[in-house]
Amino acid sequence: MAGVVDWESFGVMTGGASGALTGLLFVAVSLNADRIARHPGLRAIAAQTLVLFIAPLVMAAVLLTPRQPGRAVGAELMAAGLCGGLSLFVIGRRRRAPTPADERPAGVFDRRDTGIVVMLLLVVSGAVVASGTPAGLYVLLPASLVAFVSGVLSAWNFLLPPPDML
């Protein structure tokens, strides 16, 4: 698909950032493993953050796979969004109660709903691309940005937790 070729640099940048942030998440979780293991809400946030960092990595892999027809790119983006959304739904069911982080202004990015928005944007992008309109790829920018901001704020909470989460 001709339009996807134009997105190669975006895919490389997003995939690299996603990989680096996933590594950050593993460091943050390992530094606070005891506290996270005792708190079901924190375990759920860690899993949610992993899904948010992996989604842009999958998106980048789709964009960087050579010579794919537009319908395949669109179907893969839709599948990634649906799988990610289902994962977030399952993770959210395990999260019993809101954490104190949910009450802070930055807590809006720690919520499952924010992740679901990211996954819906992937599905919308895929549907538009599958219909033959490469402009649907522009929806990947806000999806990636929200995923990264949300995930970084969650990882920050693991590294430097607020006093009420200790």
pTM to 2 decimal places: 0.83
Q: What is the mean pLDDT of the chain?
A: 85
Is 60 exceeded by the pLDDT of residue 8?
yes
Could you read off the pLDDT of 65-116 as tens digits, one per residue? 999 999 999 999 999 999 999 999 888 876 655 555 555 554 544 555 788 9
Q: 60-95 in b/e burial notation, b at 16+ Cβ within 10 A?
A: bebbbeeebebebbbbbbbebbebbbebbeebbeeb
pLDDT at residue 81 in the model? 97
Tell whether 164 is covered by a domain.
Answer: no
CB-based burial of residue 163 (10 Å sphere; 0-12 exposed, 13-18 middle, 19+ buried)?
exposed
Let me know if residue 39 belongs to a domain: yes
In a domain, residue 30? The reply is: yes
Residue type, 110: D
In the chain, how many domains are there? 1
165 found inside a domain: no
143 lies in a domain? Answer: yes
The answer to whether residue 7 sits within a structural domain is yes
Domain of residue 17, residue span: 2-159
Nearest Cα to 121, choosing from 62, 48, 59?
Answer: 59
166 in a structural domain: no
